[in-house]
Homo-oligomer: A and B are copies of this chain.
Amino acid sequence: MTPTDSILRGYLSDNAAGASPQILDAVVAASAGPAAPYGNDALTAQMRAKMAAAFECELDVFAVGTGSAANGIGLAALTRPWGSILAHRDSHIQNDEAGAPEFFTDGSKIVLLGGEHSKIDPDELRAAVKVGVGDVHSVQASVLSITQVTETGSVYTIDELRVLTSIAREAGLRIHMDGARFANAIVALDVSPAEMTWKLGVDMLSFGATKNGALTADAIVCFDPTLATELSFRHKRGGQLTSKMRFQAAQLDAYLTDDLWFDNARQANAMAARLRAGIADVAGVTVTSEPGSNIIFAIFSDELTDALHERGFGFYANRWEAGVVRIVVSFAHQATDIDEFVAAIRELA
Report if A149 contacts B (CB, 8 A): no
Report if A51 contacts B (CB, 8 A): no
B215 touches A244 (CB 8 A): yes
A244 touches B107 (CB 8 A): no
B239 touches A42 (CB 8 A): no
A106 touches B108 (CB 8 A): no
Please report the C-alpha to C-alpha distance between residue A227 and residue B2 in the assembled complex, in whole angstroms. Answer: 27
A4 and B36 contact, Cβ closer than 8 Å, known pairs A72-B239, A102-B102: yes
A98 touches B8 (CB 8 A): no
Q: In chain A, residues 214-237, which have Cβ atoms closer than 8 Å to a Cβ of chain B?
A: 215-216, 230, 232-237
Please report the C-alpha to C-alpha distance between residue A134 and residue B76 in the assembled complex, in whole angstroms. Answer: 20
Q: In chain A, residues 124-163, which have Cβ atoms closer than 8 Å to a Cβ of chain B?
A: 132, 136-140
Report if A210 contacts B (CB, 8 A): yes
CB-nearest residue of chain B relative to A95?
B138
B108 touches A241 (CB 8 A): no
A6 to chain B, nearest CB (A): 8
Oligomeric state, in copies: 4
CB-nearest residue of chain B relative to A110?
B109
Report if A238 contacts B (CB, 8 A): yes
A86 to chain B, nearest CB (A): 14
B97 touches A236 (CB 8 A): yes
Could you give, for residues 255-287 of chain A, a 1 whenever the CB lies within 8 Å of some chain B CB and a 0 otherwise?
000000000000000000000000000000000
Which residues of the partner chain B approach A10 to less than 8 Å between Cβ atoms?
34
CB-nearest residue of chain B relative to A39?
B136
A65 touches B1 (CB 8 A): no
A96 and B137 contact, Cβ closer than 8 Å, known pairs A16-B36, A34-B10, A236-B68: yes
CB-nearest residue of chain B relative to A132?
B95
Instruction: Choose among A100, A112, A235, A237 the residue with the greatest number of B CB atoms under 10 Å from its CB.
Output: A237
Interface of A with B (CB < 8 Å)?
Answer: 1-2, 4-5, 8-10, 12-13, 15-19, 24, 27-28, 30-38, 40-42, 45, 64-70, 72-73, 80-82, 84, 95-100, 102-110, 112, 132, 136-140, 210-211, 215-216, 230, 232-244, 247-248, 314, 332
Top 8 nearest A-B pairs (CB, nearest first) are A69-B239, A102-B107, A18-B31, A15-B243, A2-B42, A10-B34, A65-B65, A82-B233
10 residue pairs A–B, Cβ–Cβ below 8 Å: A1-B33, A2-B41, A5-B36, A15-B244, A66-B240, A73-B239, A95-B137, A98-B139, A109-B110, A112-B112
